[in-house]
Amino acid sequence: MADPAAPRGVTERLQDLREGGLYRRMRTIEGAQGPRVLLDGVEVLLLCSNNYLDLAGHPAVRLAGASAYRDLGAGAGASRLVSGNMAVHERLERQLAAFHEQDRALLFGSGYLANTGTIAALAGQGQVVYSDALNHASIVDGCRLAGAAKFVYRHRDVEHLAWAMERTAGEAALIVTDGLFSMDGDVAPLMWLTELAHKHGARLMVDEAHAVGTFGPGGRGTVAAAGLCDEVDVITGTLGKSLGSYGAYAATSSELRELLINTARPMIFSTGLPPACVAAAEAALELIAAEPQRIERLQENADLLRSELEGHGLKVGGSRSQIIPVRVGDPERAVSACSRALDRGVYAQAIRPPTVPDGTSRLRLTVMASHEPGELRRAAEVIASAVAAVGAGGEWSIDLPDESGEISVHDVRPAAEMPPAAGNRV
């Protein structure tokens, strides 16, 4: 007889995921990434890629990576503090620092490693780190690893953050936020966050992963768009989205970079990035500067898709970017809507918990600069039809946390039956 106190088995856990509509599987893309791909043997319009500027397959990016592979080898061979620090790493770091108008930059193995390592290095015991409720999982885990107390403030709600910082006066270490939120496509209130950071003596860290190459002057992100390059302490970004490669970085002051080199464990204990990834990202960064029309085309495509979706009666929330959420609510209905759209040649991935809070499953649409207007118009019709077939979900709100900083998310269908919490900014 099984011990009732024993941990649940793998089979039972997988069954729970299936019954809750949260089971996942990987689909296979054959060939190169692009606006249209061969998915499990069928050509589809790709509307869920982070390859926003379509640079992953650009000839100049491919050539730069291939040349570095040929000339510099397949890998760095060691961590950068041992013998894995190469000239190609330092050259890209100088370019990234200039791009963000910061003193220096430091490469990491991935965006996840950049965020977890940086947050843990900047906040510790006896301090408080403040995190937006809809921050990326890498930020959430960085807060957990830091050893500091954490406070989760309601999404984009500066009044709630101010309330929390007043209650923890003298303990503030770090405010951390996505610049462009990865699931909702909206933008952080950076001006207000900067003022609160200054008032309470905290540092401000902004993750620009989805804003690099897509938002602000020259694609330099939300910080540059707000004119705050001199005010934000750390900007993290990725090489794996608009830059079409792999890896990540933190752009900051020379002194903070030295601190990260000496204390950020994911950098210290990881092999340096492969030279091919670094060289490919360098070529992509040069293309962004040389071809600003790519960013303009991306923004035009995003505006078009939002308009078309709204014309079909769909709500797209507060999206101001190439990330456009179509809210469904229930995870099984989101999966069903994804399958229906895929049957008609449009791949729009269903996003479910834990990536998003319970009750907020959606189709997360992302446009690319290389999508054609006609493709996007047809895609909007296909998405609207798929969502209508499964039954659209409602809006949601995030309640005021209790003193521990925990949040709860409620489906409010219809809103009149369960009004949002007072002061809600969602």
Choose, from 58, 200, 210, 371, the residue flagged as catalytic: 210
Has 270 been annotated as catalytic?
A: no
Has 210 been annotated as catalytic?
A: yes
401-to-153, 177, 348, 398 alpha-carbon distances in Å:
8, 18, 32, 9
Which structure tokens are listed for 41?
């043997």
319-to-175, 185, 224, 238, 364 alpha-carbon distances in Å:
23, 4, 19, 21, 11
Has 110 been annotated as catalytic?
A: no
Residue 156 to residue 132: CA distance in whole angstroms: 7
284 CB-contact burial (10 Å; exposed 0-12 / middle 13-18 / buried 19+): buried
The pair phi, psi for residue 268, each rounded to 5°, is -60, -40
Choose, from 241, 321, 361, 397, the residue flagged as catalytic: 241
Residue 141 to residue 346: CA distance in whole angstroms: 33
Nearest one of 97, 142, 101, 137 to 118, comparing CA atoms: 142
Q: Write the CB contacts of 417 (distance below 8 Å, at least 6 apart in sequence).
A: none
What amino acid positions are annotated as catalytic residues? 182, 210, 241
